Structure 1
């Protein structure tokens, strides 16, 4: 069965832009990510999602899972759980490793569920 591949447009716009914010992600007391190089993905009327470069993530806290999802605008997403001595937060991080062309800048970056991890966004000066 073929899955739809949709192109962002006036009815469903998607923009990916460099942000001027600092994004810090924590699981309890553990810093999972800290960056000033996030990209802001604005999709339609959804809240902005910050995609963080993998090099700004403590990858020792990530454990790849078998979970995956599909977005007709972005492609296949793979997931990671965050594992700390305090416990595991399942499928709290996702990545589009081979995103569609319209959102290609998010390749090599990850995003975080704000209802599972503490994501702090501090505006730049």
Structure 2
């Protein structure tokens, strides 16, 4: 009997995928990072954690993976920006600065499907340097 790469709804199977309630083709997979993550701005260590999440998302295209760091492991003061955007999969994002430059975002009140991102920050890859190691 042939096997299918789609579920009963006709959407591709992907183990552990979280799908947008309004568009099942917009999905993400969230995995814990098993190594220590360090986030630097210039030479300044702003976060260090062993509890990071790696988010791989596909919407209109396949996005670069993002690392989400628990707010409790952010070492620097991140100042809020008067800016927000909406993601139909994750919810409303709020943005933050460090030393006056916007460097990342957080989902203070994520959608239920994305609730594990609550209390985490992600960062613009061109504004920070992330290292992953022991």
TM-score range normalised by the length of the shorter chain: 0.7 to 0.9
SS of 1:97's equivalent? Answer: strand
Q: How big is the shift at 1:39?
A: 1.0
Q: How big is the shift at 1:59?
A: 3.7
How many residues end up aligned between the 2 structures?
111
> Does 2:74 match 1:63?
no
**Divergent runs of 4+, >6 A:** none
The correspondence of residues 39-58 of structure 1 with structure 2, limited to 5 A, is 39-44=53-58, 45-58=62-75
Q: How big is the shift at 1:21?
A: 2.6
Structure 2: how far apart are the matches of 1:103 and 1:18? 14
Q: Name the TM-score, length of structure 2 as normaliser.
A: 0.75
Deviations 1:35-65 (A, max 9, x none): 11101111122121111000110143x1111
Q: Name the TM-score, length of structure 1 as normaliser.
A: 0.80
Query: Which residue number corresponds to residue 127 of structure 2?
Result: 116
Note the residue ranges of structure 1 that are not aligned, 5 or more in a row: 1-5
Match of 2:45 among 25, 31, 43: 31
Greater RCO (CA < 8 Å, at least 6 residues apart): 1
Note the residue ranges of structure 2 that are not aligned, 5 or more in a row: 1-19
Structure 2: how far apart are the matches of 1:59 and 1:32? 5
Judge conservation of contact 2:27–2:89 (CA < 8 Å) in 1.
Answer: no
RMSD: 1.6
Structure of larger gyration radius:
2
Match of 1:107 among 118, 125, 129: 118
Structure 1: how far apart are the matches of 2:87 and 2:27? 14
